[in-house]
Amino acid sequence: MGIVINLDVMMARRKKSLTELAGEVDLTLANLSILKNNKAKAVRFTTLDALCKALDCQPGDILEYVPDDDAAEEDSVGE
């Protein structure tokens, strides 16, 4: 998938621990860890909203689009 979750980067910039952030956004440590380790398949807007409030950032600071290697190879083959 081409969406990367940079939650760990934002947590480091804001000097917030997983436990501290989990309490602020009302998520379990397990669910927040799934997000932090880029294992999530989906993110609710309410969760993204809470993360942005707690980390004082924009959604684009947490989410990033990175093209898949397959897509990049297909683009170069078609040229």
Instruction: Dump pLDDT digits (tens) for 2-48.
Output: 999 999 999 999 999 999 999 999 999 999 999 999 999 999 999 99
Q: What is the dihedral of CA 22, 28, 30, 36, to 10 degrees?
A: -30
Residue recorded with tokens 């689009």: 65
Task: Dihedral sign for Cα 38, 43, 49, 50, please.
Answer: negative
For residue 64, the domain's CATH number is 1.10.260.40
Residue 69 pLDDT:
78
Cα–Cα dist 16/55, whole Å: 8
Residues belonging to the chain? 79
Residue 68 sits in which domain range? 3-77
Could you tell me which residues come within 8 angstroms of residue 31 by beta carbon, excluding any fewer than 6 positions away? none
Q: How many domains does the chain have?
A: 1
